[in-house]
Amino acid sequence: MTVSAEYNLEELNKRIEAKAFQFTYYLSISAIFLWLVWLVFDYYKAEEIFLELLIARICLSLGAISVTILMRKKLINSKTAQFLLYIPALSFLGFLYNYTPDELLFTYIFSGIFMVIVAGFVFFIMPLKSAVFFGLYSFVIIFLFQAIYQKHTIMEILLNGGVLFMSMTAFTVAYTAVRYKSLVNGFINEILVESTNKKLAEQQEILQLKNNELEKSLEEKEVLLKEIHHRVKNNLQIISSLLTLQDVEKSGKTISDVLISSQSRIHAMSVLHTILYKSNNLAKISVRDYINMLVDYLGETFSVKSKGIIISMNISDVHLVVDKLIPLGLVINEIVSNSLKHAFPNNEGGNITLEYFKEDDTCVMIVSDNGIGLPDDFSIKKSNSLGFRLIFGLSNQLNGDAKIQNTEKGTSFKIKFNDCLK
């Protein structure tokens, strides 16, 4: 039988073998009792040759027992078991040369009916080619042995049960083939149903996962919208506070200086929102991307190229939450802006270096320059500079430890804080 490529042929053969194995196992059990019952027939109907056939009947019964045991232990498959049961049994029919015509007729009727009822209707399952072989073997072995021993003529055999036996055998072969095809079609339908159910279950699972993702995405968008409103409100408050502080300090400074300082502080926050807009992860932001964009802006604002100032950076690829990155960005903005405005007078040029790295669970930010350094009498406590007040105030907001000092080559600022992300 041809099976479509879309069927799982291995699974189909596995089910056919399982059913054939089950049928043949029950058949082997039935055969044990068949040969014992046939002994009773021999005793009453063929008393003259009872002893001659006794050993053969017992051997066939023991053979059926052996097949049953081998199948129970799964040492043989169904095809092997079928041949072990049928070939000896059919061969034995050929030795009925001592039977009288009446005994021969009864034997053929008995064996034919058993074949039809037990083999054809109840237990037997074979592919068509195996069933045809079984039928041809039945005909050949009986007539061949009868012809060899010449106890009966072919006509006597045919008239005394041969035709009936042949008819029953042919019917068994035909029914077996039809039954086999029906079973195979049933198995194919089962496989198709199981396969369809499996695919439906998989699709249902995929749909459920997608629904969960959509629900999660919707929740994230709602949270994000609330977060945007919250951050806009907070940033506006920060801007308002910065402008208020700047207004207090603006004496002695030009309006242009005040506006540039305020603009750079506002831009430090706007850069963060630019990165947030482009990022797939709104929970944490790359420190490297943020500092690069912020420093690029400060470099353009203060025209570092024309002044001969070189800004170099060594920023580790780590991430921070937004609440940490806003104050850190404002701190960096104040330090770098202060260096660009005061560390290199007379446009003599110089170097500013930014380092950011992670030590265990601690983040470390170092900004240093090789400028003129802080005045000898500089004191943070006595300083009225808004920039320094912001630097140390925002460092406290980070729960960090901030230090600023002169070095042999200029000024160095260092801040350490916890709650770092990878």
Per domain, the residue ranges of the chain are 9-202, 250-417
Q: What's the pLDDT tens digit per position in 210-231? A: 888 888 877 777 776 666 656 6
373: left (phi over 0), alpha (psi -120 to 50) or beta: left
Per-residue pLDDT of the chain (422 residues; tens, 9 = 90+): 444 445 567 777 777 777 777 777 777 777 777 777 767 766 776 666 667 667 777 777 777 788 788 878 888 887 777 777 766 666 565 555 555 555 555 565 555 555 555 555 444 555 555 656 666 656 665 666 555 555 656 666 666 666 666 777 777 777 777 777 777 777 777 777 877 788 888 888 888 888 888 888 777 777 766 666 566 656 656 665 655 555 545 445 555 555 566 666 666 666 666 666 666 666 678 889 888 888 888 888 888 888 889 999 999 988 888 778 888 888 888 888 888 888 888 777 899 999 999 888 889 999 999 988 887 777 666 666 777 777 888 888 888 888 888 888 889 999 998 876 65
- Output the CA–CA distances (angstroms, integers) from residue 90 to 48, 139, 205, in the order listed: 22, 9, 56
Q: What radius of gyration, in Å, describes the C-alpha atoms of the chain?
A: 49
Q: What is the pLDDT of residue 154?
A: 62
Q: What's the pLDDT tens digit per position in 181-194? A: 777 777 777 777 87
Report pTM.
0.44
**Phi and psi, residue 381, nearest 5°:** -65, -30
Q: What's the pLDDT tens digit per position in 35-52? A: 777 677 667 766 666 676
Give the integer Cα–Cα distance in Å for 59 and 53. Answer: 10
> What topology is assigned to 250-417 in CATH?
Heat Shock Protein 90 (3.30.565)
Which residues, other chains included, contact 154 with Cβ-Cβ below 8 Å and sequence gap of 6+? Answer: 143, 146, 147, 162
DSSP for 241-287 reads: HHHHHHHHH-TTS-HHHHHHHHHHHHHHHHHHHHHHHH-S-SSEEEH
Give the integer Cα–Cα distance in Å for 329 and 298. Answer: 12
Q: Which amino acid is present at 204?
A: Q
